Structures are given as structure tokens and as C-alpha cells.
Amino acid sequence: MHKEYICSICGYIYDSEVGDPDSGIEPGTPFENLPDDWVCPVCGATKQEFELV
């Protein structure tokens, strides 16, 4: 199922269909499967700062 998570700090949206190629995260990677040390590519917030859209 397609899910999006939003950074509560800057508003960046992590879309699992897009991934985060600049950080080496392949398209199709669920948010839950991101590495624990992954951070928002815009502001550097941790995964804990993200909420399900």
C-alpha cells in the first residue's frame, strides 16, 4: 500500500514510490524499512519527526 510521511519540522514528504535516491534509498522502499539513521533530506530531522499523511 502506498504511504506518504510528512516531516513535522519542514513539511518534506517521503513518498515510498519515489524513495530518496539522493540518499541511496530505492523507489518502493517503505518508510518503516528506512535505516534508523536516515534523516530528512531537507532539514535533517530524524524519522521520529515524521507522521503518516
Q: Are 31 and 14 in contact (CB under 8 A)?
A: yes
13: number of CA atoms within 13 Å, CB side?
9
- pLDDT tens across 11-30, in order? 999 999 999 999 999 999 99
In this structure, the number of other CB atoms found within 10 A of the CB of residue 8 comes to 13
Residue 1 has pLDDT above 80, yes or no: no
Can you tell me the distance from the alpha carbon of 26 to that of 20, in angstroms, rounded to the nearest whole number?
A: 7
- pLDDT tens across 23-52, in order? 999 999 999 999 999 999 999 999 999 999
